Structure 1
Amino acid sequence: MPRHPVPDLAVATVDGSLWRLADRRPERFTLVVAYRGRHCPICRAYLQELVRLLPEFAARGVDVLAVSADDEARARDTHREWRLEGLALGYGLSIATGRAWGLYVSTGRGATSIGIEEPALFTEPGLFLVRPDGTLYWAAIQTMPFARPGFADVLKALDFVIAKDYPARGEA
C-alpha cells in the first residue's frame, strides 16, 4: 500500500554481500526490480536496459537492486552471461517474501514450447520505488513477462516527481 511500510527484504547478492532494504540510505528512493529469473529472455533485455541507465538512476539519488527466486548458481550465471556489471543482483527471493510484496507466483512447466526450462516456482515481475523511510512510493506488478514499465519512462517520471515533490498515490 503506498505510503505504508513495505515488507522486509534481505537477500544475498552475487558480489557476496547481504543486501537489506532496512540498511539502505538512498538520497531519494530505492528501486527494487523483481525479475522472473535466468530462464526469462525478456528479463535479460530488461535488466540490460537497467544496467545501461544505472548512472541516470544514481544521478537522481536512486539505489537499485534486481532480485529473483533463482539460486546462487543461476544468479551468478545470469550476472556473467547477461553482462550485468554494476547492478546489485540479488538471489534466493523466497516465494513467501515475493507474495508479501504482492508479486504473482507461477508454476514452472519444465521445458516449455518456446524452448525455455522454467523452475518449479518463480515470481513474476514487479518494480517498486521505496522511500528512504521504508514506505512504498510506487509499484508496478505484472502477471506476465510482457509490457513492463520502461526504465527511460521511469526516469522521466522520477524527474517530474522530484521537481514537483509529487506525493505517492493509491493509498486511499
Structure 2
Amino acid sequence: MSLQARLDAFKADFRAGKPPYNAPPDIHPVMERATDELIASGQAGRALKAGDRAPAFTLRGPDGEAVSSADLLAKGPLVVTFYRGVWCPYCNMELQALQEALPAIAAEGASLVAISPQNPVNSRKSVRQNQLGFPILSDEHNAVAHAFGLRFALPGYLVELYKKLGNDLPTVNGDPSWTLPMPARYVIGQDGVILYSEVNPDYTHRPEPSDLLPVLRQARATA
C-alpha cells in the first residue's frame, strides 16, 4: 500500500470517529478551515524549490549532538523532510515510510534527516516510537523552516482547538510562538542546490518516498 493510501485510510477512520481515535466531529471543519486558508495564502508557492540554493544549517540531534548539513553533503546528497511533531499521526506515518525506503536511499549514497520544531526529548520519543534509523533534528523557533519558507503561525482559532485536544506545542517545542513548518521534502545536491522539492500546505498529503530515488540516481550519475 502506498504512503498516501495509508494516510487516506487513517483520515477516513479519524473523520468517522472510529476507535481508538474517537475524535469529536466538530473539530474537522476547524482543521479544514485552517488548511484551506493556508493553501489560499499561496505560501507553499513561495517556499524554496528545485534550482534554489538550500540554506546551510547545524541543528541538534536527538542526543544533543550537532548535525551539520555541510558535513552530510560532503558525503553525498541530502534528503530533508520537515516533520511537525510526535503528536502528528500523518507525520509519523511518513517517517515510517521513509524508514522503509532508507536502505534504497542509502544505496544511492544519500543521507536522510528529519527537521522538527520539537525539543530533543520529543525527537528521541519520535525516533523510538517509529523505530527510525535516521535522526530528527531540533529546529528551535522553526528557524531553518523559516529559511526554507515553510514556517507559518497557527491562527488563533486553531491554537484554541489544539489546546483542547492536548496538543501543547509550546511545551513540545520549548517555544511559545505556536508556529509549525508546512510538510515538505527536499533533495539537496552536494553543491547545495535543491534538486527536488515537494511542499504541501495540506498536512494530510505527502509524496511517496519512491519519488526520491530517480533524483538520487541522477545525482549519483552526474557526481
Would the aligned equivalents of 1:109 and 1:118 in 2 still touch at CA under 8 Å? Answer: no
Q: Kindly state the Cα deviation for residue 111 of structure 1 after the two structures are TM-superposed.
A: 4.7
Does residue 149 (structure 1) correspond to residue 149 (structure 2)? The answer is no
- Whichever structure has more strand as a proportion of its residues is 1
Does residue 100 (structure 1) correspond to residue 147 (structure 2)? The answer is yes
**Which of 96, 100, 109 lines up with 2:159 in the alignment?**
109
> Which consecutive residues of structure 1, in runs of 5 or more, have no partner in the other structure?
166-172
Does residue 52 (structure 1) correspond to residue 100 (structure 2)? The answer is yes
Q: Kindly state the Cα deviation for residue 127 of structure 1 after the two structures are TM-superposed.
A: 0.7
Q: CA RMSD in A?
A: 2.5
Q: Percent identity?
A: 23
Does residue 31 (structure 1) correspond to residue 82 (structure 2)? The answer is no
SS of equivalent to 2:80: strand
**Which of 119, 122, 126 lines up with 2:180 in the alignment?**
122
Would the aligned equivalents of 1:37 and 1:69 in 2 still touch at CA under 8 Å? Answer: yes
Does residue 19 (structure 1) correspond to residue 19 (structure 2)? The answer is no
**Greater C-alpha radius of gyration:** 2
Quote the Cα distance in structure 2 between the aligned partners of 1:115 and 1:105: 20
How many pairs were matched up?
162
**Which of 113, 121, 125 lines up with 1:77 in the alignment?**
125
SS of equivalent to 2:159: coil
- Whichever structure has more helix as a proportion of its residues is 2
Normalised by the size of structure 2, how large is the TM-score? Answer: 0.64
Q: Kindly state the Cα deviation for residue 106 of structure 1 after the two structures are TM-superposed.
A: 3.8
Does residue 42 (structure 1) correspond to residue 100 (structure 2)? The answer is no
SS of equivalent to 1:147: coil
SS of equivalent to 1:26: coil
Q: Kindly state the Cα deviation for residue 11 of structure 1 after the two structures are TM-superposed.
A: 0.7
Would the aligned equivalents of 1:56 and 1:155 in 2 still touch at CA under 8 Å? Answer: yes
Q: Kindly state the Cα deviation for residue 162 of structure 1 after the two structures are TM-superposed.
A: 4.9
Would the aligned equivalents of 1:103 and 1:142 in 2 still touch at CA under 8 Å? Answer: no
> Which consecutive residues of structure 2, in runs of 5 or more, have no partner in the other structure?
1-48, 170-177
Quote the Cα distance in structure 2 between the aligned partners of 1:114 and 1:153: 37
